[in-house]
Structure 1
Amino acid sequence: MQPTKQPITLATPTTTQQIALVLGATGGIGNAMAQKLLQRGWQVRALHRRAAQMAAADSSGIDWRQGDAMQQADVIAAAEGAAIIVHAVNPPGYRNWGELVLPMIDNSIAAARMSGARIILPGTVYNYGADAFPAPSESSPQNPVTRKGAIRVQMEQRLRSAAQGGVRSLVVRAGDFFGPHMANSWFSQGMLKPGLPVTAVTYPGKRGIGHQWAYLPDVAETMIRLIEREEALAAFDTFHMQGHWDADGTLMVAAIGRAAGRPDLKVKSFPWWLMPALGLFLPLMRELSEVAYLWRQPLRMDNRRLLKVLGSEPHTAWDQAVQSTLAGMACIKA
């Protein structure tokens, strides 16, 4: 079946609402995308294995659909009439990553082929190895050094191949995520403890080494602004965000200290030596250990192509972004 291209327009009270299917709406970037889309006037659907339970607890206006992202028929049914499919679904805690991730992107491709939707994929820096450092562009070689990075490359390759058959997609790559509702991240799992007051921060990087961060609402806003520029996008298109660049590892720590009212915040070194042993029992620790190289050398993705299309990149000030993140983690009062 040949997909029917659906133009993306900003919905208003006098126009028909555009429909977005968000896979992974309970996760960090999926939730941020769902909320931004609702604010823009989109009708947002979300697929969940316990849809009735989610609908009863949610007052945001999301249309929860019963189903599983691993079941192609469920994704196709939920995507009927959708203009975009936000593919923000990942196995919880990185469990069975290799067995689950590629089938799920295949299901989104099948659903997009039927509905004519554009797939929106939040990308990462894991696609790149040392040969692309220190400032990879969208066209830099992708020779990842981790298992997760290799899978990320395969996901994008499948989207690129699908574009030849009429399935449109958009990949926005960004640095380490932080923000409200972000459970599996360096910020919330490696540096601080959710639910506890901030008394110290464990920093994974070397002193003086820059690190690239991405605030979830900024990533979501960037993706939506690109969606609203459909006429400027290729069938398969990629963009890089600059996000929050910490040139020497001190800006993030200082912002945490200010948000927590602890300007003299104690900084601890990350126990990298423990990771191999912990990784035998905890998948998250194994995944964190694999990306240690990103904390030992600077990587700052080039966002010039994004600026050329949008004119500017959405950017929340450091203090506001960190304060919102800590409040979402229940480390400080909202």
Structure 2
Amino acid sequence: GIYVYGHQSAIGDENHPKLPHTKKGKIRLQFENLIFDSNKWKKAKPLIVRLPDYFGPSSQNSYLQPTINGVLNDKNTIFIGNLKTPREYIYLPDAAKMIVNIAEKDDAYGENWNIPGGNPISGKEIIQLARKITQYKKAIIPLNKTMIFLMGIFNPFMREITEMMYITKDGFILNNQKYKDRVGPIIKTDFEQALNETLSHNGKNKV
């Protein structure tokens, strides 16, 4: 995830400053330092791959999941974050392929790697596509930080999201140049197709 970068509005490459200001971000940075500690791991060949927000047939605790679940169940539902801010999302099958491509490179180890998503897209555009695909007509309510905090009193998933809401407001894009230069073309399924496949798969296994 991108939590290690903290509250920075930018397009970040693998060398972007890591300035976490949240509990989750600080823990992620501690994990990263541990993973790359050569004194602890004499024979291991570690690497870290970093993803933006994700969605897909196997997704469970993504920011988009409550919206997807509501659409599939034809109920009024929520969207986590600002509807106007374009954000980067990655389709999990695309991410899996790119992770494998990185892992197959002998010189990829000991480094951070960005797994880039598709073109940034706003919540409003996502909702329009979901309605187009499913003919869903119920209300989708955008949740701000205060509303998330109140819901978190009763819902552990929402409680965890509260301190991360800055991401949904400002957005942060992962630079993909390193992947393109050293691995190959970015794998990027069209967002509408990816959302259609996600809704279709999850619809067969309704929540």
Match of 1:90 in 2: none
Q: Compute the TM-score of the two structures, normalised by the length of structure 2.
A: 0.86
Assess, with a 3 A threshold, how the Cα gap between structure 1 residues 127 and 186 changes in structure 2: closer, same or farther.
same
Q: 2:147 aligns with which of 263, 267, 274?
A: 274
Residue number in structure 2 paired with 1:11: none
Q: Deviations over 1:103-141 (max 9, x none)?
A: xxxxxxxxxxxxxxxxxxxxx1111112x4311111111
AA aligned to 1:276 is: F
Q: Percent identity?
A: 23
| Partner-residue secondary structure (3-state), 1:209 | coil
Equivalent residue, structure 1, for 2:58: 181
Distance 1:328 1:183 in 2: 13
Structure whose alpha-carbon radius of gyration is higher: 1
What's the TM-score once normalised by structure 1's chain length?
0.55
Equivalent pair of 1:160/1:236 in contact (CA under 8 Å): yes
CA distance in 2, matches of 1:278, 1:201: 13
| Paired residue total | 205
Spell out the pairing of 1:74-89 with structure 2 (5 A cutoff). none
Q: Distance in 1 between matches of 2:100 and 2:195?
A: 22
Select which of 206, 219, 236 maps to 2:110. Answer: 236
Unaligned 5+ segments in structure 1 are: 1-123
2:194 alignment partner in structure 1: 321
The one-letter code matched in structure 2 to 1:183 is Q
- Measured on the aligned residues, the alpha-carbon RMSD in Å equals 2.6
1:311 is aligned with what amino acid?
Answer: G
Deviation, 1:248, is 3.8
Aligned to 1:8: none
Deviation (angstroms), 1:275? 2.4
For residue 279 of structure 1, report the CA deviation from its aligned partner: 2.3
Of 307-316 and 278-287, more deviation after overlay is shown by: 278-287
1:165 corresponds to 2:42: yes
Query: What's the offset of the Cα at 1:229?
Result: 1.8
Out of 173-182 and 199-208, give the one that drifted further.
Answer: 199-208
Higher strand share: 1
Distance 1:177 1:241 in 2: 11
Q: Indicate which of 75, 85, 89 corresponds to 1:213.
A: 89
Aligned residue among 262, 281, 286 for 2:159? 286
Deviation at 1:171, TM superposition (A): 1.4
Query: What is the Cα deviation at residue 197 of structure 1?
Result: 3.3
Counterpart contact for 1:194–1:330, Cα < 8 Å? no
What letter corresponds to residue 64 of structure 2 in structure 1? Answer: F
Q: Distance in 2 between matches of 1:166 and 1:174?
A: 26
- What are the superposed Cα offsets for residues 156-213 of structure 1, whole Å, 9 maximum, x if unpaired? 1111114873321121111111111211111113x23268434655333334311111
- Structure 2 CA distance, aligned partners of 1:142 and 1:269? 29
Q: Is the 8 A contact 1:197 1:332 kept in 2?
A: no
Stretch deviating more after TM superposition (173-182 or 241-250): 241-250
> What whole-Å deviation, never above 9, does each CA across 1:26-61 have from its counterpart, x for those lacking one?
xxxxxxxxxxxxxxxxxxxxxxxxxxxxxxxxxxxx
Secondary structure of the corresponding residue to residue 239 of structure 1: strand
